[in-house]
């Protein structure tokens, strides 16, 4: 607002100066015009009276001049008229000495117009008109009038100029104030707020000014600066997120390696005892002298030992994964076979829907991919429950591996979607961790998704998860298409 106030003050002072100069020149012009008009009227009156005196001077003599002047010089008339003989003009006229230049002007036959104070100290206009009779100069007519009319006229002009100046000043100040606030004040008032907001780190809202002047260019430059700062900050945030994700991935890999070594050792140490337990349970179950209750206990021991053996095999598979034996497989056909086998294990049997499409081929280990699909579908069936439905679909998609800057490639995507309760937000980051499970004790080992992740990663793909709590979950297995896989191997 200070800029607008300075602009308004500058314009007001400029208007005052211009109106003062214009008013002064106007008063001087009006004063000069009044003097000219007064002189012209006096000369015209003097010429008329002089002509009358000249016509009657020869017959009636000098007295006729004084008589004419006496008749013309009426009290109500604003002009005083006096007759001055030729011999008096060289001395003093109306208490004022005639200067040499003025005397020469009169002697030359020209009229004389002067202004001076009379005996009472009042300013008057004096006009001297020479009167000739034939070729002889006989005297002069002195016509005088006070400057009261002039002063009244000048005062009226001054008042009119002052009123006009005040009017122009007020209108100009109001217009300047309005335009100054509209063009400069209010637009500039938003600049400090925007700069403070930018300094505080808020770069979202631009400075909106639909103008094409310098202020609009300033706003456009400020908006461009905000855009560049926002892009730089977003780029920095992406780099920071990428570094954090890379650090998390490194920690995750290191944790998996540690767990793998631990699992390998545990599985190796537990293998022989489990075989002994399973063998002894079989011997007890086959012993004729064993009672029915003993045989039943032996069956329980044998089943639990077999379960522990399966866990040990999973541990070994996780700790020492085998290199996939890749060959060309058709994903839709293998998926349909896997779903058909699983249909006999779930209740109800039609709770799994398979959407088959065009033939899609990948270079992969068939048994390992079947194991991955089985693990994920079984988890989806368990999450959906008895009344839920699991939908499996195979599609070709263009995708980019997460956390990388590689170009988009073609992948075969196996989508497994359920309508269960979904995955809680606090569990999503850990679902692929070994031994992490949300199932009840005895219903899961927490190794299925970890092993599946390792298998898919070994095949050059990844597993995507999209889930919201209470709205089901969708696991997508991304495998490189046959062409891309061949190019990578070559």
Q: What distance, in Å, lies between the first and last C-alpha atoms of the chain? A: 71
Q: Is 490 helix (H, G, I), strand (E, B) or coil?
A: coil
Q: Element (H or E) spanning 22, and its range?
A: helix 2-60
Q: What is the DSSP string of 183-228?
A: IIIHHHHHHHHHHHHHHTT--SS-------SHHHHHHHHHHHHHHH
Give the number of other CB atoms < 10 A from CB of residue 184. Answer: 19
Confidence of residue 380 (pLDDT cuts 50, 70, 90): confident
Beta strand 352-355 with 390-399 is parallel
Average pLDDT of 140-145? 83
Mean pLDDT confidence for 112-139: 79
Domain positions in the chain are 2-155, 213-320, 323-489
Stretch among 166-180, 272-286, 355-369, 448-462 having the lowest mean pLDDT: 166-180
Residue 412, pLDDT score: 93
Q: Are 456 and 372 in contact (CB under 8 A)?
A: yes
What does DSSP say about strands 80-85 and 136-146: parallel, antiparallel, or unpaired? antiparallel
**Among 60-64, 118-122, 293-297, 447-451, which stretch is predicted with the lowest mean pLDDT?**
118-122
- Supply angle C-alpha 251, 254, 257, rounded to 5: 150
- Is pLDDT above 70 for 83? yes
CA distance 453 to 467: 17
pLDDT for 195 equals 72
Query: CA separation (Å) from 178 to 16, 182, 414?
Result: 18, 6, 68
270: CB partners within 8 A, 6+ apart: 308, 312
Question: Hey, which CATH number is domain 323-489, 3.30.980.10, 3.40.50.1970, 3.30.565.10, 3.40.50.410?
Answer: 3.30.565.10
Q: Which fold does the domain 2-155 belong to in CATH?
A: Beta-Lactamase (3.30.450)
Distance, CA of 139 to CA of 129 (rounded, Å): 9
Joined together, the tokens standing for residue 139 give 């005297």
What is the overall mean pLDDT for the chain? 77
pLDDT (0 to 100) of residue 420: 85
Residue with the bigger pLDDT between 139 and 322: it is 139
Q: Which one of 3.40.1440, 2.60.120, 1.10.287, 1.10.3470 gives the CATH number of domain 213-320?
A: 1.10.287
Mean per-residue pLDDT, 307-323: 64
Give 397's strand partners: 411
What's the confidence (pLDDT) of residue 487?
A: 46
User: 377 in helix, strand or coil?
Assistant: helix
Residue 267 has pLDDT above 70, yes or no: no
The count of other CB atoms within 10 Å of the CB of residue 209 is 18
The predicted model gives 77-103 an average pLDDT of 68
Cβ–Cβ under 8 Å, residues 267 and 447: no
- Output 45 or 443, whichever has higher pLDDT: 45
CA-to-CA distance for 489 and 158, rounded, in angstroms? 103
Q: Minimal CA–CA distance to 371: which of 345, 398, 351, 342?
A: 342
- d(CA 84, CA 89) in angstroms, rounded, equals 7
What confidence score (pLDDT) does residue 478 get?
93
Longest dimension (CA), the chain: 193
pLDDT at position 479 = 93
Model confidence at 92: pLDDT above 50:
no
Give the pLDDT mean for 145-163: 80
Picking from 85-94, 137-146, 391-400, 404-413, which range would have the lowest pLDDT averaged per residue?
85-94
Reply yes or no on whether the pLDDT at 27 is more than 70: yes
The tokens for 193 are 């707020």
What is the chain's Cα-based Rg?
59
| Residue 465: DSSP 8-state | E
Check pLDDT > 80 for residue 311: no
SS3 state of residue 382: helix
State both tokens at 24.
């002064």
pLDDT at position 214:
66
- Tell me how far the alpha carbon of residue 391 is from its chain's centroid: 46
CATH fold match for the domains 2-155 and 213-320: no
- pLDDT for 91 equals 42
Going by pLDDT thresholds of 50, 70 and 90, the confidence category of residue 381 is: confident
User: What is the value of pTM for the model shown?
Assistant: 0.41
Neighbours of 468 (CB within 10 A): 12
Q: Is a pLDDT exceeding 60 seen at residue 248?
A: yes
CA 433, distance to chain mean position in Å, is: 45
Q: Which two tokens stand for residue 73?
A: 């010089």
Q: Please write the tens of the pLDDT for every residue from 391-445.
A: 899 999 998 888 777 788 899 999 999 888 888 777 777 787 766 666 654 455 5
Indicate the helix (H) or strand (E) that contains 65: helix 63-72
185: pLDDT strictly greater than 60: yes
Determine the length of the chain.
490
How far is residue 219's CA from residue 195's CA, in Å, rounded to a whole number? 11
In the 8-state DSSP scheme, what is residue 467? Answer: E
Residue 68: what pLDDT? 81
Per the model's pLDDT, the better-predicted residue between 293 and 178 turns out to be 293
Mean pLDDT of the region 211-223: 70
Q: Of residues 180 and 336, which shows the higher confidence score?
A: 336
CB 434 within 8 Å of CB 316: no
d(CA 381, CA 375): 10
Question: Per-residue pLDDT for 490 more than 50?
Answer: no
Pairing of strands 409-418, 462-467: unpaired
| pLDDT at residue 165 tops 50 | yes
CA distance 432 to 88: 135
Range with lowest mean pLDDT among 59-68, 296-305, 378-387: 59-68
Tokens for 447, please give them: 């190794």
User: Which sign, positive or negative, has the C-alpha torsion 272, 276, 281, 282?
Assistant: positive
Q: Which of 283-287, 332-336, 344-348, 379-383 has the lowest mean pLDDT?
A: 344-348
């Amino acid at each position: 607002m200070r800029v607008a106030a300075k602009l308004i003050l500058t314009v007001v002072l400029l208007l005052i100066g211009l109106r003062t100069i214009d008013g002064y020149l106007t008063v001087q012009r009006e004063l000069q015009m009044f003097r000219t008009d007064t002189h012209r009227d006096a000369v015209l009156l003097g010429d008329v009276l002089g002509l009358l005196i000249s016509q009657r001077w020869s017959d009636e003599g000098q007295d006729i001049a004084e008589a004419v002047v006496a008749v013309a010089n009426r009290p109500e008339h604003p002009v005083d008229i006096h007759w001055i003989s030729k011999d008096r003009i060289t001395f003093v006229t109306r208490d004022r000495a005639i200067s040499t230049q003025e005397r020469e002007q009169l002697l030359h036959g020209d009229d004389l117009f002067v202004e001076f104070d009379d005996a009472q100290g009042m300013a008057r206009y004096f006009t001297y008109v020479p009167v000739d009779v034939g070729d002889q100069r006989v005297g002069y007519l002195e016509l005088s009038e006070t400057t009261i009319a002039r002063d009244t006229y000048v005062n009226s002009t001054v008042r009119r100029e002052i009123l006009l100046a005040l009017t122009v000043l007020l209108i100009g100040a109001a217009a300047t104030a309005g335009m100054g606030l509209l063009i400069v004040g209010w637009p500039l008032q938003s600049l400090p707020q925007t700069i403070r907001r930018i300094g505080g780190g808020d770069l979202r809202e631009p400075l909106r000014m639909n103008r094409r002047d310098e202020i609009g260019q300033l706003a456009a430059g400020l908006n461009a600066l905000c855009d560049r700062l926002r892009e730089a900050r977003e780029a920095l945030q992406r780099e920071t997120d990428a570094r954090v994700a890379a650090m998390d991935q490194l920690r995750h890999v290191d944790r998996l390696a540690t767990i793998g070594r631990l699992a390998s050792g545990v599985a190796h140490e537990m293998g022989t005892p489990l075989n002994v337990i399973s063998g002894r349970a079989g011997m007890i179950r086959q012993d004729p002298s064993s009672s029915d209750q003993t045989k039943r206990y032996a069956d329980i021991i044998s089943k639990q030992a077999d379960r522990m053996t399966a866990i040990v095999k999973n541990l070994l598979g996780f700790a020492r994964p085998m290199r996939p034996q890749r060959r060309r497989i058709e994903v839709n056909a293998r998926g349909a076979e896997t779903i058909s086998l699983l249909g006999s294990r779930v209740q109800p049997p039609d709770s799994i829907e398979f959407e088959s499409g065009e033939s899609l081929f990948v270079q992969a280990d068939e048994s390992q991919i079947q194991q991955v699909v089985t693990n994920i579908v079984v988890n989806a069936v368990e999450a959906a429950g008895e009344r839920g439905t699991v939908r499996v679909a195979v599609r070709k998609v263009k995708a980019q591996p997460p956390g990388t800057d590689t170009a988009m490639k073609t992948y075969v995507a196996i989508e497994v979607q359920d309508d269960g309760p979904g995955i809680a937000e606090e569990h999503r980051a850990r679902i692929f961790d070994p031994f992490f499970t949300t199932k009840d004790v005895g219903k899961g080992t927490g190794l299925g998704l970890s092993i599946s992740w390792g298998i898919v990663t070994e095949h050059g793909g990844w597993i995507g998860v999209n889930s919201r709590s209470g709205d089901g979950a969708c696991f997508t297995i991304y495998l490189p298409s046959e062409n891309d896989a061949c190019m990578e191997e070559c």
